[in-house]
Structure 1
Amino acid sequence: MAYELYYWDGLQGRGEFVRLALEDAGADYVDVVRGAKKDGQGMGAMTKIIESKSEPQIPYAPPFLKDGELIVPHVANILLYLGPRLGLAPKDEGQRYVANGLQLTIADMVTEVHDTHHPLASGLYYEDQKDAAKARAKDFIDNRIPKFMGYFERVLKQNPHGDKHMITDKTTYVDLSIFQLVEGLHYAFPRATKKFVKQYPRVQALHDAVLERPNIAGYVDSERRIPFNESGIFRHYPELDQDA
């Protein structure tokens, strides 16, 4: 049976980290909300699960993955589940928890990216918090990007199996997620990230190596890849960008 991925239509968002793993592995999956109502898909299918009063596993919010009767919520949790099944996780069980820790750190940074344009409240429009967003984005560019990227650069440098993998000597879902993180940062903050190749050469090289993977390259150039836009997590507001 095909995996069923549930996430908002029209957005890359957090769901994209899961899509990249499925696409890289050539897995059979359905992006349910993007499907037709007549096929039992669409937004109503996701709402039905979230609002269910009988479903034994009720996810709080998307993304979540359905594999048969099992529902797995949260990006890092989904990838911890999918990684071994897709050949995108370390074989050693202990190393899988190291990979999960790296993925959770990526999730932390993604949350901080979101908070650059919604620093006060998710329920407010960006236009209602622009001044706070400018202050938050400046701190993110000046302090948080170097903190996170410096860490990822150090992890790559210290990997005894080579500096183009975050862990072990083979591509894992963590590498794919670093690719998406860098893609998003380049989109949202082109001025702040224009020197990435000099500042974080290993991180940028990992990004470039992932893009050369045939299934990823094909996906990125396909209609299945939703473009970045100003409704997602990575948003480009020129007034929030600045030179690093």
Structure 2
Amino acid sequence: MAYELYYWDGLQGRGEFVRLALEEAQAPYVDVARGAKKNGLGTDALLAALDTEAPYPPYAPPFLKDGDLTIAQTANILFYLGPKLELAPRDEGLRYVANGLQLTIADLVTEAHDTHHPIASGLYYEEQKAEAKARATDFIDNRIPKFMGYFERVLAQNPHGPKHLVGGALTYVDLSLFQIVEGLRYAFPKATKHFADHYPHCVALHDAVETRPHIAAYLASPRRIPFNETGIFRHYPELDKAKR
């Protein structure tokens, strides 16, 4: 039975971290909101799954259905899928390390989103441009170096070598860091121009993931939604600046 992934159509968003794991593992899945209404899919199906009267409904996408089980929240979904897709450490203790790293990535994703919506998600970007400029400047000067410097250090201190964040084999966290580098480069091309100089291990991991056969095929396919200005990572030139 195929996994059912519920996330908004037309944007990568937080659902992309789950898609990358499913694509790397070649796991069968249905991207529900992107399906045809005549097949019982589409946005209406997503909204119906949110408005369910069943116990423990999800708060918001992304969430995943595996048979009768519904798992919400990106890090939680990946913690569940990791062992099933052979994208988690075999050591149980390291699985919690991986989950902690994924939760840190979730913090970074939230801060990236807040560069263009620093006051309220319900307001348009154009209604908070001045505040967004100040938030993006701090994000570039202080928050990106703090997060990326941390991941660089985790890679450098991995006892198995700097090719992976956890253990000696690919995990879902490596795929997620790839997406972080991709997203930051899209949103802030000036600020990330010298990423390879500052964070060589992170960029090397990104480049290695990018060339993995299943990921490369996915990135070249129409299943990969392009970055755009409705997602988490948005390129507004006025918010980007060269890293000092």
Give the TM-score normalised by structure 2.
0.99
Aligned residues: 243
* Moved >4 Å (runs of 4+): none
**Equivalents in 1 of 2:140, 2:187: separation in Å?**
11
**Equivalents in 2 of 1:3, 1:49: separation in Å?**
14
The one-letter amino acid of 1:46's match is L
Q: Which residue of 2 aligns with 1:24?
A: 24
**Equivalents in 2 of 1:56, 1:23: separation in Å?**
30
Structure 2 residue 219 is matched with structure 1 residue 201:
no
> In the TM superposition, what is the alpha-carbon distance from 1:57 to its structure 2 partner?
2.9
Q: How does 1:32-43 map to 2 (within 5 A)?
A: 32-43=32-43
> In the TM superposition, what is the alpha-carbon distance from 1:78 to its structure 2 partner?
0.1
Structure 2 residue 2 is matched with structure 1 residue 2:
yes
Q: How does 1:68-217 map to 2 (within 5 A)?
A: 68-217=67-216
> In the TM superposition, what is the alpha-carbon distance from 1:213 to its structure 2 partner?
0.6
> In the TM superposition, what is the alpha-carbon distance from 1:44 to its structure 2 partner?
1.1
**Equivalents in 2 of 1:179, 1:129: separation in Å?**
29
The one-letter amino acid of 1:101's match is G
CA deviation string 1:66-107 (max 9, x = no partner): 000000000000000000000000011111000000000000
CA RMSD of aligned residues (A): 0.5
> In the TM superposition, what is the alpha-carbon distance from 1:16 to its structure 2 partner?
0.2
**Equivalents in 2 of 1:162, 1:84: separation in Å?**
22
Q: Which residue of 1 aligns with 2:13?
A: 13
Q: Which residue of 1 aligns with 2:232?
A: 233
**Equivalents in 1 of 2:158, 2:208: separation in Å?**
16
Q: Which residue of 2 aligns with 1:57?
A: 56
> In the TM superposition, what is the alpha-carbon distance from 1:56 to its structure 2 partner?
1.9
> In the TM superposition, what is the alpha-carbon distance from 1:52 to its structure 2 partner?
1.2
**Equivalents in 2 of 1:226, 1:46: separation in Å?**
18
The one-letter amino acid of 2:40's match is G
What percent identity do the matched residue pairs reach? 72
The one-letter amino acid of 2:158's match is N
Structure 2 residue 65 is matched with structure 1 residue 66:
yes
The one-letter amino acid of 1:191's match is K
> In the TM superposition, what is the alpha-carbon distance from 1:212 to its structure 2 partner?
1.2
Q: In structure 2, the residue corresponding to 1:23 is in which secondary structure?
A: helix
CA deviation string 1:123-145 (max 9, x = no partner): 00000000000000000000000
**Equivalents in 2 of 1:164, 1:91: separation in Å?**
17
The one-letter amino acid of 1:26's match is Q
